[in-house]
Amino acid sequence: MTRPSQSKSPAAGGFLIAIGLTVGAVLGMTRGNALLWLLAGALAGIAAAIAVWLIDRQR
């Protein structure tokens, strides 16, 4: 039996979520509203990860 060749490697967007959370937490601590900025960072990271997933899906 031969395996089908998979030449493309999927892109990972989880890193973007982690960066969004980290940046949001740091901004929130410096600006005095950690939860709001943490949520904003999470939403931005999730949006970026979805964008990466959609672009990768079209390849």
pLDDT tens-digit profile of 2-59? 665 555 777 788 899 999 999 999 999 999 999 999 999 999 999 999 999 898 888 7
pLDDT of residue 1: 56
Question: What's this model's pTM, rounded to 2 decimal places?
Answer: 0.77
pLDDT of residue 10: 72
Give the amino acid at 51: A
pLDDT of residue 30: 95
How far is Cα of residue 5 from the mean position of the Cα atoms in its chain?
28
Give the C-alpha separation, 11 to 51, whole Å.
Answer: 11
Written as six digits, the tokens of 46 are 């999730």
